[in-house]
Structure 1
Amino acid sequence: MTVVAESAATEKTRRAVNPGVTVGGALVVILAVIFFVGGKDQGLVGQAIVSGLLLGGVYALISVGLTLIFGVLGIVNFAQGAMLTLAMYIVYALSTAGLPVYVATLLAVPVMFVFGMIVQATLLTKLTIGGSHEGPLLVTLGLSLLIINVLLMVFGGRPKSVEAPVDGSISILGTVAAWPRVLAFVGAAVVAIALKSVLERTRLGLSIRAVASNSEGAKLVGVDIGRVYALTFGIGAACVAVAGGLMTPFTSLTPSVGEQFTILAFVIVVLGGLGSVVGAMVGGIVIGLVQTVGALYLPGTGSLILVFAVFVMVLFLKPEGLYGGRR
């Protein structure tokens, strides 16, 4: 299983060429070619690049929770999109009660953390410890359907919205970026960096990395596997709570809104390498850029063709993902 934190990589891997550098260099070259000789207005291209970076940051945060859960528990959480939706509706409910949206987000994080721990402890622990692969998939899929239908009954199917607490926009290298999107990117980056620091520099992070690397060995040295599983699922749920809260000011809410991010999150996780936090961060930025810049040439859903084309190409050239280890 891929180790969650890259600090546990071998010395040989550390001396190898960082795939992020290679991907970053390739992206810079491709974007430069599109900007100067792509046949599109340079202002539009610049705007698409900035929008892609901002969008990619939020994608990365959604995917970090998914890849963390897979890296430790070894399961694919099909309820990730539904949990994102649940977090957004919690923020919406708190906002309509009079709280500022970002304060509501801070309150939604511990709620989703506890929700994630409860789901793992009550529905998934026996299955994951027992080594079942099909059971967790079916449970998380059923949980996704349950969340969506409960939200539909409580809030109805009409789209809802939350007023952005900060109006206006900021100029970035001659382009315009709305403040809510900039704040979402900054918040996602801070949370992702903080999560990586926790995984690398704390006892909890050490336990998580130990379980991700060898759960049986970790159990033999006294690590409470069930507790680590529950905390990991809770952290994954907390990550989507942050992402949901940050996205709420510029996203129309419906009970199925999170499903559109589920497939993209899976693409990002596999692209970056299953179980790799850094890979999810890099993959999110890549997919965000491909989607927005690609929309200049393939409007509408056509940009998704490019997203999946990049996904297939990476799998063909490096099946384990950018930061994944060969199994």
Structure 2
Amino acid sequence: MLDGVISGLVSGSAYAILAVCVVTLYRLVGVLNFGQAAIGALGAYSCFALAGAGLPLPLAVLGGLAIAGAVAGLAGWAFARWFDAPSDTVRAVVSVALFVVTLTLGFRLFGDAPRVMPSLVPAAAFNLAGVRVSLTTVIALVAAIAIAAGLTLILRFTRVGLRLLAMSERPTTVQLLGINTRRLSLGVWAVTGMLSTLALLLIAPIRNPTFESMSFLIVPALAACLLGAFSNVWVAALGGLAIGAVEGAGSRIDLVSDYRGAIPFVVIIAALIWLRRREVWDAVR
């Protein structure tokens, strides 16, 4: 059981990073981006395509990150240009359209056959309490925690972070002060796109993935976001790690292993019930 939990932390780390990106984008820009994982998949597949064409892996990684950042920035520009005023519901619908467009583009460029992806981390491991822990697990876990901590520190203690928080709460006032809010929002889009690619680069070598399966990793990420009510980065990150750990543990139980893909949906339902508990209790009283 414990070895399943440890192995599931790699997937959980990817869910956590994606969840942090979704929460950050929603808090600062007001867009619930259902295409977050698809943009990351586009960057990850571009990276491996560049590596397959003979480019050294470090340069291919930089290329994939740049492509994801550019695509996410373009999406952010489109939202800022044409969907700045509409409601959250309209923006969410447009982000679903972004997901479908990105998924279609990925199919046309890379197909939908499973691929063996090279690992960015050496195949090293060590024993912890009798359980084999890979270096990939450690690095993925550290990356998830570092990204959550880094974004929290940037938002609280840097000038850019304070401007971003001000933009999310009083965008008109920030514009009157002469701050370019559109440039800030494009930066948030680009950074979250690149971080999503990093998350999928870490998980891809252990999954033998298709472009579609990588794009639909947005589901467990959204489940983790719900746990944090789309506002708390740390709860979302820990929720992603927990979902991955539960999936890994479930893979070691015969009665559960065939249904572990449903775990994110169970989390979503439970989170929705929990978030509405006060409304339901008030109605009863």
Give the TM-score normalised by the residue count of structure 1. 0.75
Query: For the structure 1 residues 275 and 222, does the alpha-carbon distance in structure 2 shift closer, same or farther, using more than 3 Å as the test?
Result: farther
**Residue type of the partner of 1:252?**
N
Query: For the structure 1 residues 176 and 231, does the alpha-carbon distance in structure 2 shift closer, same or farther, using more than 3 Å as the test?
Result: same
Aligned residue for 2:216, secondary structure, equals: helix
Q: Which runs of 5+ in 1 are unaligned?
A: 1-44, 321-327
Aligned residue for 1:176, secondary structure, equals: strand
Query: For the structure 1 residues 109 and 305, does the alpha-carbon distance in structure 2 shift closer, same or farther, using more than 3 Å as the test?
Result: closer
- The answer for the alignment partner of 1:40 in structure 2 is none
Query: For the structure 1 residues 273 and 132, does the alpha-carbon distance in structure 2 shift closer, same or farther, using more than 3 Å as the test?
Result: closer
Instruction: Kindly report which structure 2 residues correspond to 1:61-140, keeping only aligned pairs within 5 A, or say none.
Output: 61-99=17-55, 101=57, 103-121=59-77, 123-140=78-95
Query: For the structure 1 residues 227 and 301, does the alpha-carbon distance in structure 2 shift closer, same or farther, using more than 3 Å as the test?
Result: farther
**Residue type of the partner of 2:165?**
R
Once the two structures are TM-superposed, the CA of residue 288 in structure 1 deviates from its matched residue by 1.7
Once the two structures are TM-superposed, the CA of residue 310 in structure 1 deviates from its matched residue by 4.2
- The answer for the alignment partner of 1:312 in structure 2 is 269
- The answer for the alignment partner of 1:146 in structure 2 is 101
State how far apart, in whole Å, the 2-side matches of 1:292 and 1:173 are. 17
**Residue type of the partner of 1:292?**
G
Query: For the structure 1 residues 142 and 309, does the alpha-carbon distance in structure 2 shift closer, same or farther, using more than 3 Å as the test?
Result: closer
Instruction: Kindly report which structure 2 residues correspond to 1:9-20, keeping only aligned pairs within 5 A, or say none.
Output: none
Query: For the structure 1 residues 134 and 126, does the alpha-carbon distance in structure 2 shift closer, same or farther, using more than 3 Å as the test?
Result: farther
Query: For the structure 1 residues 120 and 79, does the alpha-carbon distance in structure 2 shift closer, same or farther, using more than 3 Å as the test?
Result: same
Asked whether the equivalents of residues 10 and 203 of structure 2 are also in contact (C-alpha less than 8 Å), the reply is no
Query: For the structure 1 residues 89 and 307, does the alpha-carbon distance in structure 2 shift closer, same or farther, using more than 3 Å as the test?
Result: closer
State how far apart, in whole Å, the 1-side matches of 2:210 and 2:80 are. 31
**Residue type of the partner of 2:117?**
V
Aligned Cα root-mean-square deviation (Å): 2.5
Once the two structures are TM-superposed, the CA of residue 102 in structure 1 deviates from its matched residue by 5.1
State how far apart, in whole Å, the 2-side matches of 1:80 and 1:314 are. 21
- The answer for the alignment partner of 1:231 in structure 2 is 187
Aligned with 1:241 (options 197, 200, 203) = 197
Aligned with 1:197 (options 132, 140, 153) = 153
Query: For the structure 1 residues 90 and 263, does the alpha-carbon distance in structure 2 shift closer, same or farther, using more than 3 Å as the test?
Result: same
State how far apart, in whole Å, the 2-side matches of 1:186 and 1:242 are. 13
**Residue type of the partner of 1:141?**
V
Aligned residue for 1:299, secondary structure, equals: helix
- Point out the more displaced range, 131-140 or 223-232: 131-140
Aligned with 1:270 (options 205, 226, 246) = 226
Asked whether the equivalents of residues 85 and 257 of structure 1 are also in contact (C-alpha less than 8 Å), the reply is no
- The answer for the alignment partner of 1:16 in structure 2 is none
- Point out the more displaced range, 262-271 or 299-308: 299-308
Aligned residue for 1:87, secondary structure, equals: helix
Query: For the structure 1 residues 138 and 72, does the alpha-carbon distance in structure 2 shift closer, same or farther, using more than 3 Å as the test?
Result: same
Asked whether the equivalents of residues 71 and 276 of structure 1 are also in contact (C-alpha less than 8 Å), the reply is no
Deviations 1:145-182 (A, max 9, x none): 22222222222232212233522432223211333333
Asked whether the equivalents of residues 22 and 225 of structure 2 are also in contact (C-alpha less than 8 Å), the reply is yes
- The answer for the alignment partner of 2:282 in structure 1 is none
State how far apart, in whole Å, the 2-side matches of 1:90 and 1:191 are. 22
State how far apart, in whole Å, the 2-side matches of 1:316 and 1:276 are. 18
Percent identity reads: 23
Once the two structures are TM-superposed, the CA of residue 307 in structure 1 deviates from its matched residue by 4.2
Asked whether the equivalents of residues 19 and 236 of structure 2 are also in contact (C-alpha less than 8 Å), the reply is yes
Counterpart check, 1:255 vs 2:225: no
Aligned residue for 2:224, secondary structure, equals: helix
Query: For the structure 1 residues 210 and 105, does the alpha-carbon distance in structure 2 shift closer, same or farther, using more than 3 Å as the test?
Result: same
State how far apart, in whole Å, the 1-side matches of 2:240 and 2:109 are. 32
Deviations 1:80-99 (A, max 9, x none): 12112102201211221334
Aligned residue for 1:163, secondary structure, equals: coil
Asked whether the equivalents of residues 55 and 185 of structure 1 are also in contact (C-alpha less than 8 Å), the reply is no
Query: For the structure 1 residues 96 and 182, does the alpha-carbon distance in structure 2 shift closer, same or farther, using more than 3 Å as the test?
Result: farther
